[in-house]
Amino acid sequence: MKRLLFNIQRVFQPSADEMAALEKAIQIVHLKKNDFFLKENEICSSVTFIEKGSMRLFYESPDKEVCNDFFFENSLVGSLAGFLTQSPSIVNIAAIEPCELLVFDYPDVMKLTENWPAWRKLADILVQEQFVRAEKREASLLRNSPEERFKNLLEEHPKIFKRVPLRYVASYLGITPETLSRYRARFLA
C-alpha cells in the first residue's frame, strides 16, 4: 500500500483529510496465481491497483481465450465500462502471478470522487489514461503487422516476456505461439 500512497501524495498532494478518506476506502486483497478478480457476466463492483504481481484481461470465445491486456504494479485494473455502468462485465480478469491488490468498491469510489477534489481529479486522469490506452491498442491491432506489434511490445514492455506465459503474449499479439517463438529467436538472439 505504501507504493500507491507515496505516488499519489507525490503527484496530487492531497490534504490529510483526503488521504484519510482514501486509506479508509482501501481493502487489501491477495490473489493466488490464476485466481479471478472478475469473471465475465459478473457486475464489476470494484476496481483495484496492483501493489505486487501481474494480471491479465481476456475474453472467452467459443474455441479460445483472447488476451487483451496485461497489468503490473501501480496499474489500475477493472472493467471500466462495467464499473462505470454497474452492468455485467464482458471481460475476465485473472492473476498471472500472486497479487497483492488495493481494492476500491463502487460506493466508496463514488463517495471519494463526490466529496474530495483530489480524488475527482485522480479519477478523471485514470479514466482518460484508460481511454488512451484502449485507443492505442485498437489502432495497433488494426494498423500494425504482427511483427510490428511484437517489436513494439518488446521495446515498450520487455518485462512481459519474463513475467507472462508466452501463450498469453501470443494471444495478445494475435499470433500463434509458434510465430512468437520465431520472432523471439530472430529479435532476442
Distance CA 161, CA 169 (A): 8
Q: What tens digit of pLDDT does each residue of 21-37 get?
A: 999 999 999 999 999 99
pLDDT for residue 1: 64
Q: Tell me the CA distances in angstroms from 89 to 23, 57, 63, 185, one per residue in order.
A: 27, 11, 20, 37
pLDDT (0 to 100) of residue 2: 75
CATH 1.10.530.10 at 2-142, yes or no: no
DSSP secondary structure of 34-84: T-EEE-TTSB--EEEEEEES-EEEEEE-SS-EEEEEEE-TT-EES-HHHHH
**pLDDT tens digits along 72-123:** 998 999 999 999 999 999 999 999 999 999 999 999 999 999 999 999 999 9
Domain ranges of the chain: 2-142, 144-189
What is the average pLDDT across 136-155? 93
Model confidence, pTM: 0.91
Q: Are 51 and 3 in contact (CB under 8 A)?
A: yes
3-state SS assignment for residue 187:
helix
